[in-house]
Amino acid sequence: MKKFLFLFLILGATAIQAADGGSKKPQTVREAPQYLSTDGAAVEDTCPGNDIFNQFFCSSKEKPGFKCFDVYRVQGDPIDTERYTLLAQTLTTENSSAEPACTFEGELTCDNFLKALNYNLSFSWFIDNFPTSSFPECGKTYSCTRISCLKGLPPAANGSPQSAKLTCVFKKNQIYFLGTPLTCQNKR
């Protein structure tokens, strides 16, 4: 009788496990994350829900072996070249000496200026104060910086000094997107 009861319990447990697909909880296995962009329109999530803001986790709906590319948002500093977005660039002529002088070679552009500062506007001699309400993007996050520098020009006809003044307004990007291929597997 004991053998019969033991055999009945083993067969019953096996039948229950087979009926519910093994009742193993799904496991989300991720590969190494890849940096994608600061632009949400430039990324695509192929996991169910296509949510680019939050990470996807496998559930009982996904079968073992299910694969997708999960995109999610991260707060922090993006890569150097995407750390700032240019909002405004102006080049004017000033009747003054070239102080602070532009310290980079080549064309007077905000891109060249930012590269010369190694994409770091946290502290710079070139920072100009300005009202953040000038740009709607700045009023929301208070993460904008205006920088300017001057490059000497030949003196005016009356002999007074002249300079070309480059002014740039940058908004600091504080979010970026990562992506990772993932696979759903049964926990063991």
- Confirm if 178 and 71 have CB atoms less than 8 A apart: yes
> Facing residues of 169 across strands?
88, 146
- C-alpha 131/C-alpha 142 separation (Å) is 10
Cα–Cα distance, 180 to 2 (Å, whole number): 53
Q: What are phi and psi of 41, to 5 degrees?
A: -75, -15
CA dihedral 128, 129, 130, 135 (to 10 degrees): 70
Alpha carbons 47 and 38: distance in angstroms, whole number: 20
In this predicted model, what pLDDT tens digit does every residue of 54-87 receive, in sequence order?
999 999 899 999 999 999 999 999 999 999 999 9
Name the 3-class secondary structure at 68: strand
Matching residue, tokens 């070139």: 126
What is the value of pTM for the model shown?
Answer: 0.72
Question: pLDDT-derived band of residue 117, with 50, 70 and 90 as boundaries?
Answer: very high
First to last CA, the chain: 34
pLDDT in tens, 31-61: 999 999 999 999 999 999 999 999 999 998 9
